[in-house]
Chain A
Amino acid sequence: MAHHNLLPRQYLILGLVAVCAPLGDTCLSRGMTQLPAITLAHPATLIAAVFTPWIAVGIALLIGFFASYLTALSWADLTFVLPATAFGNVIVALLSRFWLLEAISLERWAGIVLITVGVGFVANGPSLTERPAAAGALPAIPKQVQEEQAR
């Protein structure tokens, strides 16, 4: 497994992955708790929920997350990218402590430390599994570029 160093813009993409997901989830939670109980008998009400303001903002943030997530998956392993998504929880907790001045319990500080150590562990390692070229692995040149060169 060779070491793949990330470029600054790739760290920026991972940062967007980390920030957009928890903020989007928070908006969704706020929007869904404001709605009356939804049952399986009326699934259309779930579709209508998408157009309420908090849920719409949540979805916009999650679209930003998804675009960054797809970009990251194109140059890094899934098991490398996923811990970055969890680091967003730490960002939200720190914002709530130092910006909203909320109290954070000892249990939560322990959670912050564990996630930070876990993300640091994986971030210091290789971002992509090295595959032998002969084993029908990933092309060195992206498929889209190869197709355009062939034309």
Chain B
Amino acid sequence: MTVPVFSVGFWPATAMIAAIVLLSTTGEVLTAAAMKSIGDLDDIRAHSGMKGAILAVVTCPLFFAGVSFLAFAFFSLLFALNHLNLSLVAPASASLTLVTNAIAGKIFLKENVDRRRWTSAILVCIGVYLLAH
């Protein structure tokens, strides 16, 4: 007996995975931008203590924008897990998020995504798919 891969249909499953990928990519890019604008947390903790480090993070508006998107991504993951198999949701969303983050990191964060990082992103993407599928 074969188990259907898309128990809720192909397009609803695609929409659920696309929502997770887009929301988490937006959240991660905003969070990374926030952390870069705050500065090295280890230096802040060494100078102002743990309280100062926490204060630096929670007073950054960009951080809250990022966390909001990550929260939406989290609830869309919970929703998807309730309807789809983990073996479909985990590899698909994890692999695609790596690639979309590499693209977004280059475009929005102006990171130097050189050949080494592209190769790494693609190898890890295929590896996650093989491992979790």
Chain A interfacial positions (CB closer than 8 Å to B): 1, 9-10, 25, 28-29, 32-33, 35, 37-38, 40, 46, 49, 70-71, 73-75, 77-80, 82-83, 86, 89-90, 93, 107-108, 110-119, 121-122, 124-126, 129-131, 138-139, 141-145, 148
- Which residue of A10, A111, A117 is within 8 Å of B128 (Cβ)? A111
Could you count the A-B residue pairs with CB atoms below 8 Å apart for me: how many are there?
178
Which A residue sits closest to B101, measured CB to CB?
Answer: A82
Complex interface residues of chain B between 34 and 82 (CB less than 8 A to chain A): 35-44, 47-48, 52-53, 55-57, 75, 77-79, 81-82
Chain B interfacial positions (CB closer than 8 Å to A): 28-29, 31-32, 35-44, 47-48, 52-53, 55-57, 75, 77-79, 81-83, 86, 90, 94, 97-98, 101-102, 105-106, 109-114, 116-117, 119-124, 126-133
Instruction: In the A-B complex, list the 3 residue pairs whose CB atoms are closest, starting with the nearest.
Output: A142-B39, A111-B131, A111-B130
Q: Which residues of A contact B79 (CB under 8 A)?
A: 38, 40, 46
Q: Which residues of B contact A114 (CB under 8 A)?
A: 123-124, 126-127, 130
Q: Let me know if A145 and B44 touch, CB within 8 A.
A: yes
A149 to chain B, nearest CB (A): 9
Q: Let me know if B56 and A144 touch, CB within 8 A.
A: yes
Q: Let me know if A86 and B128 touch, CB within 8 A.
A: yes
A99 to chain B, nearest CB (A): 17
Which B residue sits closest to A45, measured CB to CB?
Answer: B82
Q: Let me know if B40 and A142 touch, CB within 8 A.
A: yes
A sample of 11 more A-B contacts (CB under 8 A), given A29-B86, A108-B130, is A28-B78, A46-B78, A71-B42, A73-B32, A74-B36, A78-B28, A111-B132, A117-B123, A119-B120, A143-B38, A148-B47
